Amino acid sequence: MKLYEDLIDKLDLFIRKYYFNQLLKGALLFLIIGLILFLVTAMGEYYLYFPVAVKLPLVILLAAAGVWGLVRYVITPLFRMQKIGKRITHEQAAVIIGQHFKEVDDKILNVIQLRGQAAVTAADMSLLEAGIGQKTAQLAHVPFTNAVDLRRNRKYLPWFAGLVMILAVVGWWMPQLLKDSTSRLLQPATAFEPPAPFTFRVDAPALRATLWQPHDIVVRLEGDKLPEAVYIHIDGEALLMTPLGDHTFRYTIARVNNTHSFYFSTVGYQSESYRLVVDFLPVIDAVEVVLRYPRHTGKATETLMVFSDLQVPEGTIITWKIQAQHTHNITVLMDSVQVLQTEQKGGAWSWEKQVLDQAAFRVLIQGEQARLTDTFAYTISVIKDNLPVLEVQTRRDTVIGDQMVFTGLASDDYGLQSLTFHYEVIDASGKVVTQKSARLPVGSPLTAQISHYFDAGVIDRLPDQNIRMYIQACDNDIVNGGKCVRSAYVYLKEKGAAGAREEQNALEQNAERLQETLDASRKQQQSMQKDMQDLKNKMLDARTMDWQQEQQLEAMVREQEQLKKQMEAVRKRLEEQQKQTAQMEMSPSLMEKQEEVKKQLNQIIDKELQEQLQRLQELRQQKDPQQAFEKMQQMEQQNKLFQMNMERVQELIKQLELQLAMELAAQKIDEFVAKEQDILEKTERGDLSGELKKEQEQVRKDFEKMVQEVTKDLNAKEQQAKKESAAGAEMKEDAADVSEHMEESGESLDKKDQEGARRQQQQSISKMQQMSKKMKEKAGGMDMEQLDLDIKATRQLLSNLLRFSFDQEKLIEKVKVTPVHSNSFVDLNKEQARLAANARMIRDSLFSLSKRVFQIAATVNKETTELELNIQQSLKFLQDRQTSLAQVRQQHAMTNANSLALILNELLENLMGEMQSSGEQSGGSGGSPGGKSKGKSGEGGEGAGDQLKDIITKQQQLGKGMQQGQGRQGQGGQTGQGTQGSGGSGNNGQGSSGGGGNNGPDGEYGDAKELARMAREQAQLRQQLNQLNSILNSKGIKGVGKQMTDLQHLMDKNETDLVNRRLTRELLLRQQEIMTRLLEAEKAVREQEQDDKRKGNTAKETERPVPPDLKDYMKQQQVLFEQYKTQAPVLKPYYKKVNDNYLQKVK
């Protein structure tokens, strides 16, 4: 059996070699055929440029044949060698070997077959094995593998080697043939054209486009022969490209939305196919810019959702946040230098910066393709926190001069932190002695109104010290720290001569403005009177009020309101003058006269003007021309009274100005007395240097200049006042002597004559003191000649009034008993006409006297006008035989005459008192320049309580007299009748007939002489109370002014009842009220005096009340500020600044 197995192994080796031979042969054939097909196909493609329709099937066929040949001739034999797949059997191998070796023939086959029959019977088994072994042994020396001759494949080697050599030669000689043809064959679906005589050059950037962006495809032709046009084949269309010159052509895709394949063609040639690749731009999905403003701006954090130029306050912290796609990186450049660090978190980039100055920033966004970037360039404008804006105006009180108001505006772009007022007391060397500040209210943080009142008069300082004031505003800047600005310094110069001169100038200027305002008011009143006369003439024949007349009435109402405002201005000027005179310590006489003029103005403004305005308004509502005409006639009479009062006030003010000028002249003379006394002291010390002579010469020149200016002013004032006091001429004569003494003093100083210089200086001082005293006496009205004339005129007028009163009383009695149809009644009319003429004379004389005598009561013109009107009305009623109405008017005329007599009697007593006071002073007893000795009351209100107590005692005695008069009323009837019968002429007759004696229906009773005495005493007490009130007010004692005024009104009512002989219960009740109020006033005055004594030695800054003109100015500024202040929406800083500037311009 071993021999058989060896036989089988040898057969397996044969089969393996058999398949190896097939593998070798197949490989050579596959290579030879493959090379032949490759060379043929490559050369055909290289030279023929197979179209796609040929090339594609050819390549497929060749590929299929190659695959089949490879599998058939190479892979299959290889697998058979590895016993994979179906192989030849041992029997088939035995046949092949038997055919090759003839001596073997079918021996191997028989062995194999015998081996297959060995399982038939066990007895034959040994026989078969012996036969197989025999045959196997016979075949052992036969080499089965030699049956396969590998050398027979050598015949293929020349073919293979020849083809390889051809391929090598072609590859070396014509490499493009193999390279280009192979390349084209590997792209069977791509059509290739034969090479043109030129080439298509496409830049690489042209093959990459950005999505949604326009893109240019540019091709350039290079070669010897170049066509003039090129077509691009894209999206199935052949489009002519645009020539750019230099054989360059362009095609633009408006918006690239996807990838494109294209090629170029021209004159039968086409380029290879190109592919346009699309890249994505960086895309910003969301932008968020957070602006965190500084706290002091008051602005809330703001978020913007877009990139833009920014305008932000200084110190704002800006945070940018970007959500982006297709983004690789974001770079931020600030001013092209500073690179801000960006942070990336989940596709979001952010960076932060606090801006203090203006800057430009660029945001560079780099896409995922490095070549794609996007850039944003913006600027950041920084609004600097400006300094606060401070506009301050200063207005000083024209009366005193050391009270002032600071007004204006303080504003800041974002808000004010503080607003303070500062003042410093500075000495002559400039050193700050005292400094204080006060916080001012800041209403609106952006724009604050400044309205601060400051009274420098309460500041304790020495005469050579100045006050420096300013206002400071600070903003709320937390970035740079609060910034402050201050207003310009306002200086208040030291007290002394310069301050006195300023007060004098202010007083003179105020007097001039007062006169100008009066002139304007008087002219306007005259114009209104003319307009009213014209309107009255038009209404004579009118049946109805037409539109034109109504418009004239409207205009008159407006003119009347304007006139009232002008008169208010006059009163205000006079009040300022009163304060100025009190501040400058002018004479009580001047202040009393100012008070009298003020009463006249109060009468005009508060009563007459108000009544005229009310009547005009009623007239405007009147539609009946006849009734309107009657009202206008009544108004015409009132206008006459108003003109009289206006003329009187104007004349009195002119006299006030003259007296004021004289007192100012006396003060100026006193200043030179002080200067000359200083020179005298230096002379007595032996200082005879040349400087003292120069000082003496300068004083002389200044004195002469002052005298020239003062005398010129006095002469002008005397002409205006129509008063020949000759004060200017006398001053000029006396000044010549003073100048002569000063000149001689200078000569003596030049000669070193101490005694001579001292004597001349003493004489010049004495002469100037005499000049000052004389000027003060003239200013105070101590002109004996003028006083004597006024006394005589008053006596004569009083006598005429008494005579008129007697005659009118006789006429009243005759009218009662005379029949109206008798001839005697005609004589009564003539008598009444004569009395009417006398009344007009009395009116004119009293009016003339009132224009130069201040002491006449303010109602004198009203009484004289009513007297004349009542007489005219009684005359009219007598002519109409209406005796009852005539008697009423006659009785009213008697009342007017009695009131005038009382006024003149009081005036006469005052003038006699002044005459007596003037005589005492001329005799050397001294006294006040006003002609009245005030005692303790002239010294700052000291002793006012005692004086008031004296008034209380006299008023109490007067009240007892009233009660006694009421107790005798039962006896008064008989007494009155007896006296009435004897009354015919003389004072006694007037008194008895005026009293009436009996208790009639009007409640009149009492003795006429006794009542007249009590009325005179009541008038004197009222006058004393008025004088005391004026002095208390001028010296600053407060709290009793209103009580004093009310008491004067009550006393005036008592005086009226006593004059009209009405001793009623109402009079007694009023007397009790007067006593109660007098006691209360005394208590208040004494408490005030005690407080003044306790506080007299304590230096304390007590603020005085704000002067009315400053208070009005502050109100006007407040109204103006509120009018233009806007509560608008929050503005951008630029527009807010424009708004603030506008507000300041309006201010």
Query: Is there a single domain that holds both residue 1122 and residue 1070?
Result: no
- Give the contacts of 999 (CB within 8 A, at least 6 positions apart): 969, 972, 973, 1005
* Whole-number pLDDT of residue 147: 65
Task: Give me the helices (H) in 685-783, please.
Answer: 690-721, 727-750, 754-779
- The rounded Cα 595 to chain-centroid distance in angstroms is 43
* Whole-number pLDDT of residue 644: 77
**Average pLDDT for 514-539:** 73
> Would residue 189 count as lying in a domain?
no
- Rounded to whole angstroms, the Cα distance separating 955 from 587 reads 29
**Average pLDDT for 300-324:** 87
Rounded to two decimals, the pTM is: 0.44
Output the 3-class SS for 541-554: CCCCCCHHHHHHHH
- Give the contacts of 188 (CB within 8 A, at least 6 positions apart): 52, 55, 56, 58, 59, 60
End-to-end CA distance of the chain: 141
Tokens 């660029």 identify what position?
A: 362
* Whole-number pLDDT of residue 881: 86
Split at pLDDT 50, 70, 90, the class of 1003 is very low
Residue 375 burial (CB count, 10 A): 10
- Rounded to whole angstroms, the Cα distance separating 25 from 21 reads 6
Q: Per-residue pLDDT for 857 more than 70?
A: no
Query: Is there a single domain that holds both residue 458 and residue 509?
Result: no
Q: What is the DSSP string of 69-115?
A: HHIIIIIHHHHHHTT-S----HHHHHHHHHHH-TTTTTHHHHHHHHH
Q: Which of 383, 417, 440 is the last residue of a domain?
A: 383
- Rounded to whole angstroms, the Cα distance separating 1138 from 1126 reads 13
* pLDDT tens digits, one per residue of 223-248: 888 888 999 999 888 999 999 988 89
Contact 760, 745 (CB under 8 A): yes
Both tokens of 109, joined, read: 């086959």
Which uninterrupted H or E stretch holds 642? helix 625-684
* Whole-number pLDDT of residue 472: 92
* pLDDT tens digits, one per residue of 716-735: 777 766 665 567 777 888 88
* Whole-number pLDDT of residue 1004: 45
Contact 475, 412 (CB under 8 A): yes
**DSSP character at residue 997:** B
- Rounded to whole angstroms, the Cα distance separating 303 from 308 reads 12
Beta bridge partners of 432: 426
* pLDDT tens digits, one per residue of 1097-1140: 444 444 566 666 667 777 777 676 665 554 444 555 556 666 66
Tokens 């030879």 identify what position?
A: 32
Residue 154 burial (CB count, 10 A): 9
Query: Is there a single domain that holds both residue 956 and residue 873?
Result: no
> Would residue 784 count as lying in a domain?
no
Task: Specify the CATH number for the domain of residue 258.
Answer: 2.60.40.10
Contact 425, 434 (CB under 8 A): yes
- Give the contacts of 483 (CB within 8 A, at least 6 positions apart): 385, 387, 388, 474, 475, 477
> Would residue 903 count as lying in a domain?
yes
Query: Is there a single domain that holds both residue 640 and residue 583?
Result: yes
- Please name the amino acid found at residue 751: K
Give 201-204's long-range contacts (Cβ < 8 A, gap of 24+): 202/271, 202/274
Q: Which of 637, 657, 677 is the last residue of a domain?
A: 657
Split at pLDDT 50, 70, 90, the class of 336 is low
> Would residue 930 count as lying in a domain?
no
Query: Is there a single domain that holds both residue 341 and residue 442?
Result: no
Query: Is there a single domain that holds both residue 600 and residue 747?
Result: no
Split at pLDDT 50, 70, 90, the class of 930 is very low
Name the CA dihedral angle for 96, 97, 99, 100, rounded to a multiple of 10 degrees. Answer: 120
Contact 782, 921 (CB under 8 A): yes
Q: Measured between alpha carbons, how far is residue 479 from residues 243, 293, 314, 355 in Å?
A: 63, 11, 8, 11
- Give the contacts of 724 (CB within 8 A, at least 6 positions apart): 718
> Would residue 1104 count as lying in a domain?
no
* Whole-number pLDDT of residue 421: 93
Q: How many domains does the chain have?
A: 8
> Would residue 926 count as lying in a domain?
no
Closest CA to 669 of 725, 724, 711, 715: 711
- Which carries the bigger pLDDT value, residue 761 or residue 923? 761
> Would residue 556 count as lying in a domain?
yes
Query: Is there a single domain that holds both residue 248 and residue 340?
Result: no
- Rounded to whole angstroms, the Cα distance separating 599 from 649 reads 10
> Would residue 929 count as lying in a domain?
no
* pLDDT tens digits, one per residue of 617-641: 777 666 666 666 666 766 776 677 7
Q: Which of 608, 633, 657 is the last residue of a domain?
A: 657
* pLDDT tens digits, one per residue of 776-832: 877 765 456 667 777 888 888 888 888 888 888 888 888 888 888 888 888 888 888
- Give the contacts of 480 (CB within 8 A, at least 6 positions apart): 314, 385
Task: Specify the CATH number for the domain of residue 887.
Answer: 1.20.120
Both tokens of 442, joined, read: 């800041």
Name the CA dihedral angle for 786, 790, 792, 794, rounded to a multiple of 10 degrees. Answer: 180
CB-based burial of residue 960 (10 Å sphere; 0-12 exposed, 13-18 middle, 19+ buried)?
A: exposed
- Which carries the bigger pLDDT value, residue 1026 or residue 37? 37
Tokens 């109206």 identify what position?
A: 820
Closest CA to 78 of 30, 36, 7, 35: 30
Show the CA angle centred on residue 180, arms to residues 179 and 181, nearest 5°.
Answer: 95
- Rounded to whole angstroms, the Cα distance separating 1007 from 999 reads 11
Query: Is there a single domain that holds both residue 512 and residue 599?
Result: yes
Tokens 């974002």 identify what position?
A: 414
Task: Give me the helices (H) in 400-465, please.
Answer: none
Query: Is there a single domain that holds both residue 528 and residue 612?
Result: yes
Query: Is there a single domain that holds both residue 986 and residue 1066?
Result: yes
* Whole-number pLDDT of residue 931: 37
Burial 726-759 (b: 16+ CB within 10 A, else e): ebbebbbebbeebbebbebbbebbeeebbebbbb
- Rounded to whole angstroms, the Cα distance separating 745 from 540 reads 79
**Average pLDDT for 994-1003:** 39
Provide the 3-class DSSP secondary structure of residue 298.
Answer: coil
Provide the 3-class DSSP secondary structure of residue 277.
Answer: strand
- Rounded to whole angstroms, the Cα distance separating 994 from 988 reads 10
Find the domain containing 137 and state its range: 2-173
Contact 1061, 995 (CB under 8 A): yes
- Rounded to whole angstroms, the Cα distance separating 453 from 1117 reads 13
Q: Measured between alpha carbons, how far is residue 940 from residues 183, 539, 580 in Å?
A: 132, 60, 16
Beta strands in 93-185 (DSSP E): none
CB-based burial of residue 305 (10 Å sphere; 0-12 exposed, 13-18 middle, 19+ buried)?
A: exposed
Query: Is there a single domain that holds both residue 514 and residue 650?
Result: yes
Residue 1065 burial (CB count, 10 A): 9
* pLDDT tens digits, one per residue of 476-503: 888 888 889 988 888 876 544 445 555 5
Query: Is there a single domain that holds both residue 251 and residue 290?
Result: no
Closest CA to 404 of 1100, 1034, 1111, 1033: 1111
Which uninterrupted H or E stretch holds 416? strand 416-426
Contact 193, 263 (CB under 8 A): no
* pLDDT tens digits, one per residue of 251-292: 998 888 888 899 998 888 888 889 888 887 777 888 889 999
